[in-house]
A = this chain, B = another copy of it.
Amino acid sequence: MSYGIPRRETHFEPRDPHWDAKVRDSFARQGIMGHLGATLADVWPGGCEIRLPYRPELSQQVGYFHAGVTSTVVDSAAGYAGFSLMAPHTEVLSVEFKINLLAPADGELMIATGEVIKPGKNLVITRGDAWVVKGDKVTHCAMMQQTLMTMHAK
């Protein structure tokens, strides 16, 4: 189900033929994704989508998704969007990000997406967004700008 969320079509040429498998392997190694209950819904060259069903363990004091939880899934979605375009034998690291919380993240499902804006060799700049689904209402609840660094194996 797309929930009407815009999927930005990217037109990047991946540097690694195994981009899909390496992103999925890396996601599976992120302990926090399993601990939160997040799943990798989709990945494509330069883009990624992560989904996270609500549960009380993810809340801030009023019961909504905590801003840090939102940040975690958007950071990973944008990070894997970037990692999908990185060369073989590299690792990805978040250098910094900035997130605006646009609306209370009140709902039963969070959908986080990331897309590459500039795929530099060392620095990759991305954008991320989050939507929260409550019944048949879908609310754009966060947007992010992020800088990633490619770690080259020695």
Contact = CB atoms under 8 A, between A and B. Distances in A.
Interface in A53-102: 55-62, 66-69, 71-73, 75-76, 91, 93-102
Contacts of A26: 61
Interface stretch (A4-12, A28-36, A39-47): A28-36
B60 A67 contact: no
Given A71-B68, A72-B66, A75-B68, A100 B57 contact: no
Which of A27, A58, A59, A71 has the most chain B CB within a 10 Å cutoff? A71
Given A31-B59, A58-B32, A125-B102, A147 B75 contact: no
Interface residues of A, number: 49
Given A57-B31, A59-B31, A96 B101 contact: yes
Identical chains bound together, number: 4
Interface of A is mostly: mixed
A26 B30 CA distance: 29
A104 interface: yes
16 contacts: A30-B66, A31-B57, A62-B91, A67-B94, A67-B97, A68-B72, A71-B72, A93-B104, A95-B101, A96-B99, A98-B145, A102-B125, A118-B140, A123-B149, A143-B145, A145-B145
Interface of A: 26-27, 29-32, 34-35, 55-62, 66-69, 71-73, 75-76, 91, 93-104, 117-118, 122-123, 125, 127, 140, 143, 145, 147, 149
